[in-house]
Amino acid sequence: MRVVQVDRATAWARVNAEETRRIVAREVGASEEAAGVAYGADVHLKLGLSLDPGQVAAIAHFKDLLAWGFLENDFDVDAWVDGRPIDSRQEAVAAE
């Protein structure tokens, strides 16, 4: 299950701060210094999957910005979010 793979990558990032910063910088096409300023020195602690209400609200805010000429149709973010994969992560881990 991909959610479990992301959880493993999140756990790896938490204990590999320097390498995580290098990877993030490379992925966004920025220097490590610029990525550090943009994402913070603790970026290795900010990675992972969550449907925390604050994060869903941030997605909704970003969607609202995209509605200004980038989205053909508006949609309800709360109805669009499907938490089943994240909710079932414990089942997948237990089955391994």
State pLDDT tens for residues 44-69. Answer: 999 988 899 999 999 999 999 998 88
pTM of the shown model: 0.70
Long-range pairs, 84-93, Cβ under 8 A, ≥24: 85/1, 85/2, 85/3, 86/3, 86/49, 86/50, 86/51, 88/1, 88/3, 89/1, 89/3, 89/4, 89/7, 92/1, 92/3, 92/4, 93/4, 93/7
Using the predicted structure, report yes or no on whether residue 6 has a pLDDT greater than 80: yes
